[in-house]
Amino acid sequence: MKLSNMFAAAAATTLAGTAFAVPANNPVWIANGTQVWFAGNDTQYPDIDDAINAASDGDIIMINAGEYVTSLHINNNDVTVVPCYRTSTGFDDVDFVNPTEGFNNANGYAIRMSGSGNSYVGMYRQFTQLSNGQETSTVIMPVAADWSMNAPGVPLQGIAAYANNTLRTFDIESRSIDNVAIYATDAQGTFSNMWISTFQGYGGGVIASGDTNMTQFIDIDFDDMIATGNPLQLADGTTGPAVNVITVTGGESLFAGGTVGVTQNAAGSDGIVRCTGGTTTFDNVTISNNLAWASNGTIWCSGADTRVNMSRCQILDNTSRFGTFYWDASGATEAGGYCNFMRCNFERNQTANTYGGSNGFPAGGLAWVDGAVAGDRPLINYSDCGAQDNNQSMMDGYQANGDVNYMDVCSEWHPYARIARPFNMTAPIAPNDAPVSGGTDVNGDGTTDAADLAELQAALGTCTYDGDLDGSVNIDDLLGVIAAYGSTCQ
């Protein structure tokens, strides 16, 4: 038995006769042959790592409420690490803060995942597949005050906040310019439904590194960080990749849902999102309100084999130096594929540079590419995107040729960029098409209300005051209201 486990067992024996109630059985066997481990405050496993290390493939580790100054390390396969769920109050409030003093001094992260195929942190997986191939929809087992699990299970989809993608469980915080909340090295796990921020303002969000990195970050909010690009400082004195809000150095990471910077993030010279290797995919992520004055881009990509693919993303109100998306494409060839932007909106982004030197004009509201071979075919591609008011141009769509002294995409390629489905020139693109038929709940939140009307209006390029639905609010709409005044809606 590990020495820490011996201490945990002794603590459990001591606490059993006191006012503190610890689980009578820990772990608990459940019907599918796996175990649930209770860890954290007032359990036999106050050191959560002890429960993680003892768990077998397929087990669940439930964390009791509390703030934990710790550095967890997950290298198991198929484990699930989640807060306890209570019938009356929902998920416990659980915060993780990376330590800077004590036994785990200067580890540099609050949670590290290495290897760990198909492990989930923050939220349960939608389906559970056992080793015999049996697959079942996940049911959450509520934990009673006495740690019993006798209440009826709650289907995952039955939690409204989960169904509409607003549920957040863990709060994970870094607290130094050379620390991150999550450090994933050659991991194939999933982090989902959580907030990532800093405890004292300075620090980074996540680093995903390694050639076999396939970490997924689902419905996560990255907020309120000042990340300066300092090297990650580890406990053994070595350093790791640069600390930014998001850093990816290799493999194939996925960011789906969630936000980056709705509550403002700030960067040093390294950008808000920094990709130096591999292919990183962003789907349905809002990247907004980020300050990166000294950085070449809010999203900065560099390396001959580095690619970024973005779909259904809202890229809004960001400030950077060269391009909202900046790519140092030195050495990049067609063999590596495109950087793709599909059904994304770019609105009100600002860049500090000019095209054509000191007498030039604002440029790079969408993208700026350096290192391209002049005259070669472009390696950046836009399909079905929208663009409005970037660099305060008051121009909508893609201004590639410097019309009215603005240039949205700058490169040495010919043409500057490739365009598949055309840019929307009059209104932002709706991230999702409104359904053609089959119901009135357009946004899929389970109710039919004004929010569905707003989705339809956005898809049609209209708004509440546009009575004739032509995309403009003008005298014709006013005359229509006057003509219909006093009538009733049927």
CB-facing half-sphere around the CA of 143: CA atoms within 13 A:
25
pLDDT higher than 90, residue 244? yes
Confidence of residue 5 (pLDDT cuts 50, 70, 90): very low
Tell me, what's the pLDDT at 8? Answer: 39
Using CB atoms within 10 A of its CB, is residue 459 exposed (0-12), middle (13-18) or buried (19+)? middle
Highest mean pLDDT among 104-113, 204-213, 384-393, 397-406: 204-213
Tell me, what's the pLDDT at 401? Answer: 52
Kindly report the backbone phi and psi dihedral angles of residue 202, in degrees, each rounded to the nearest multiple of 5, phi listed first.
-100, 140
Q: What's the mean per-residue pLDDT of the chain?
A: 84
Bond prior to 422 in cis (omega within 30° of 0) = no
Tell me, what's the pLDDT at 368? Answer: 94
Tell me, what's the pLDDT at 6? Answer: 35
Residues 6+ apart with CB under 8 A from 416: 378, 400, 409, 410
Highest mean pLDDT among 3-7, 330-334, 455-459: 330-334
The tokens of 146 are what?
A: 């006495």
pTM: 0.82
Percent with pLDDT over 90 in the chain: 53
CB-facing half-sphere around the CA of 30: CA atoms within 13 A:
20
Rounded Cα gap, residues 309 and 298, in angstroms: 15
The tokens of 390 are what?
A: 């970037």
How large is the average pLDDT for residues 133-158? 81
Bond prior to 83 in cis (omega within 30° of 0) = no
Confidence of residue 394 (pLDDT cuts 50, 70, 90): low
- Lowest mean per-residue pLDDT among 157-171, 350-364, 379-393: 350-364
Question: Using an 8 Å Cβ cutoff, are 170 and 95 in contact?
Answer: yes
Rounded Cα gap, residues 384 and 364, in angstroms: 19
- Lowest mean per-residue pLDDT among 166-170, 182-186, 331-335, 482-486: 482-486
- Lowest mean per-residue pLDDT among 55-59, 394-398, 472-476: 394-398
Tell me, what's the pLDDT at 432? Answer: 65
Confidence of residue 447 (pLDDT cuts 50, 70, 90): low
pLDDT higher than 50, residue 74? yes
Tell me, what's the pLDDT at 165? Answer: 73
DSSP code string of 97-151: E--SSSTTTT-SEEEEEES-TT-EESS--SEEE-TTS-EEE-EE----TTS---S
Give pLDDT tens digits for 259-311: 999 889 999 999 999 999 999 999 999 999 999 999 999 999 999 999 999 99
Confidence of residue 149 (pLDDT cuts 50, 70, 90): confident
360 or 170: which leads in pLDDT: 170
Give pLDDT tens digits for 18-63: 334 788 889 998 877 889 999 999 999 999 999 999 999 889 999 9
Hey, is 51 helix, strand or coil? helix
pLDDT higher than 90, residue 15? no
232 or 105: which leads in pLDDT: 232
Kindly report the backbone phi and psi dihedral angles of residue 292, in degrees, each rounded to the nearest multiple of 5, phi listed first.
-140, 55
DSSP code string of 234-255: PTTS-EEEE--SEEE-SSEEEE
Give pLDDT tens digits for 92-124: 999 999 886 655 556 899 999 998 888 999 999
Please compute Rg for the chain using Cα positions: 25
Confidence of residue 433 (pLDDT cuts 50, 70, 90): low
